[in-house]
Amino acid sequence: MSEDIKKMIIDYVKKEYLEEDSGVDVNENTKLISSGIVDSFSMVSLKMFLEKKFLVKIPDDKATPDAFDSANNIINLLKEYTKI
Amino acid sequence: MAYSEKAKSFYDNTLKNIKQDGLFKEERYIESPQAANIKVEFPLGAPQKQVLNFCANNYLGLSSHPDVVKAAHDGLDARGYGMSSVRFICGTQDIHHELEEKLTKFLGTEDTILFPSCMEANAAIFEVMLDKEDAMISDRLVHASIVDGMRLSKAQLFNYKHNNMAHLEEKLQETQNCRFRLIITDGVFSMDGDMAKLDEICNLAEKYDAMVMVDDSHASGFIGKTGRGTHEHFNVMGRIDAITTTLGKALGGATGGCVSGRKGIVDLCRQRARPYLFSNTVPPVVVAASIKVIDLISNTTERRDKLERNTKYFREKMIKAGLDIKEGDTPIVPVMLYNAKLAQDVARDMYAEGIYVIGFFFPVVAQGQARIRTQISADHEFEHIDRAVAAFTKVGAKYNILGKKKDEIIAMYGM
């Protein structure tokens, strides 16, 4: 199950934030925020995507750059709010 | 003592980390008026050095133009120094209204309201135009002041990949249920020097019943055949609902900005825009000089045409010399170096050669996109440009980057 979620997050990041010719590979450990793939401004749309997809409300104070910095971190964050 | 050891060590450590990360910014003291040729004291205490300025937003070379300086003197004598008031109490002079009317005419809009800066115009506009049932759909590379302005609005935030019209259309489809949608973009993007595809954006806006807002700070005065801005360049004058722009770049370079567009939006800004209501009026001296600027550029396109010639000349020479520049037509010409340290080293060596340029790197631009942003001015002569290109050629040879493209530069220096 968590493999499916991982893939869903990675696919979303690739589609939403990367240009087709970017040549950047994304896996579950790839740094998303600190590497600049997802800038702090675009983190809002990533948070919205997760909330819509998993029907959760992530409190703003928990939506930190660190908590969003990789697909694995995001899964850990989601586990606090939903049974995934 | 309220300023505790804990607070002090927190601030000191933060500063230490900024320095360790190579992100510490230092001011350079310019000891002459702003111009193509300036006197600089850098580092602090070093002897004054005469350098050519290739990093100012002084696109039309009007920052120290004698007619503008004279108009400022005359304005100072006629209307005083300060107003000690916000606009709606006792801070509006006849010349504020006159400048707003001239900007309206120049930009080809319905009405204009002045703000102390474009940063404040951008801080105001989204909160005034939109509420929580609305959507802001923004290009991902918009200026930081727009990002901050959007944060002040309750509207939902969406953004699309830079200049990617298919992605913008997806976002417009996703937000069909919102009351109002506003597409938000820079006219000319400050770091890449490319232009928003305003014709395609307007077509999409009309197809999906959305409004369009453009920040034309790096365009007003010189983009388009008579310098009106990106809306003139793309032949969409009258189809943009709100333009924000600055008087602090091409239009004299002092300070001040505005929202110009649909009358209803401007009128509502006068009632609701917090930076307008709670921030001081633009000083009379700036207003008087700005009126002169608009008169100068309305009467002739001479300076705008010279800027265009200079830009073309510089871009062609840089490409011929083998520098990797971002393609485009605007006077913002990024010299791509990809690696942050390389960008800093090249900027330092350029300064030693008498050319004042600055390196930009993450987080100002994306990781691996470090560059030197050069900016051309109508104040430059071909001889100045030749000297800058010669210096880039000399420094570029030192770092072995001439004729090299992205992959080769990254292979040598990393991202």
For residue A72, give its domain range. 2-18+29-81
Is A45 close to B366, i.e. CB distance below 8 A? no
Q: What would you report as the CA-atom Rg of chain A, rounded to the nearest whole angstrom?
A: 12
Question: Where residue B159 falls among pLDDT bands split at 50, 70, 90?
Answer: very high
Which residues partner with B338 through β-bridges? Answer: B370
What are the CA-CA distances from residue B136 to residues A9, A42, B259, B381 (Å)? 24, 13, 17, 42
- Taking every pair of Cα atoms in chain A, the longest distance, rounded to a whole number of angstroms, is 36
Cβ neighbours of B158 in A, within 8 Å: 45
Catalytic residue among B117, B190, B217, B279: B190
Give the model confidence (pLDDT) of B111-142 as tens digits: 999 999 999 999 999 999 999 999 999 999 99
Is B140 close to A41, i.e. CB distance below 8 A? yes
A36 found inside a domain: yes
Question: Where residue A83 falls among pLDDT bands split at 50, 70, 90?
Answer: low
A23 found inside a domain: no
* Predicted interface score ipTM higher than 0.95: no
Contact B212, B202 (CB under 8 A): yes
Question: What percentage of chain B has pLDDT greater than the value 90?
Answer: 94
Catalytic residue among B218, B317, B326, B384: B218
A6 found inside a domain: yes
Q: What is the pLDDT of residue A84?
A: 61
A24 found inside a domain: no
Q: Has B225 been annotated as catalytic?
A: no
A11 found inside a domain: yes
Beta-strand (E) ranges in B235-376?
Answer: 242-246, 257-261, 332-338, 355-356, 359-360, 370-375
Q: Say which CATH number the domain at A72 has.
A: 1.10.1200.10
Give the model confidence (pLDDT) of B295-328 as tens digits: 999 999 999 999 999 999 999 999 999 999 999 9
Within 8 A by CB and 6+ apart from A28, the residues are A6, A10, A70, A71, A72, A75
Is A35 close to B367, i.e. CB distance below 8 A? yes
Question: Where residue B1 falls among pLDDT bands split at 50, 70, 90?
Answer: low
B291 pLDDT above the threshold of 90: yes
Q: For chain B, which residues lie within 8 Å of any Cβ of chain A, measuring from their own Cβ?
A: 140, 147, 156-159, 161, 164, 362-363, 366-368
Contact B34, B63 (CB under 8 A): yes
**Count of domains for chain A:** 1
Contact B78, B94 (CB under 8 A): no
Give the model confidence (pLDDT) of B66-89 as tens digits: 999 999 999 999 999 999 999 999
Question: Where residue A41 falls among pLDDT bands split at 50, 70, 90?
Answer: confident
A73 found inside a domain: yes
Q: What domains does chain B contain, in order, with CATH numbers? A: 31-60+302-413 (3.90.1150.10), 66-299 (3.40.640.10)
Q: What is the pLDDT of residue B364?
A: 85
Count CB atoms within 10 A of the CB of residue B365: 19
A14 found inside a domain: yes
B179 pLDDT above the threshold of 80: yes
Which of B154, B157, B184, B361 to mutate: most A Cβ within 10 Å?
Answer: B157
A58 found inside a domain: yes
Q: Exposed e or buried b for every residue in B144-180, given b needs 16+ CB within 10 A?
A: ebbbebbeebebbbbbbbbbeeebbebbbeebeebeb
Average of per-residue pLDDT values in chain B: 96
Q: CA B86, CA B137: separation in Å to the nearest integer? A: 32
Catalytic residue among B249, B292, B317, B384: B249
A82 pLDDT above the threshold of 90: no
Mean pLDDT of B17-39: 91
A1 pLDDT above the threshold of 60: no
Q: Has B398 been annotated as catalytic?
A: no
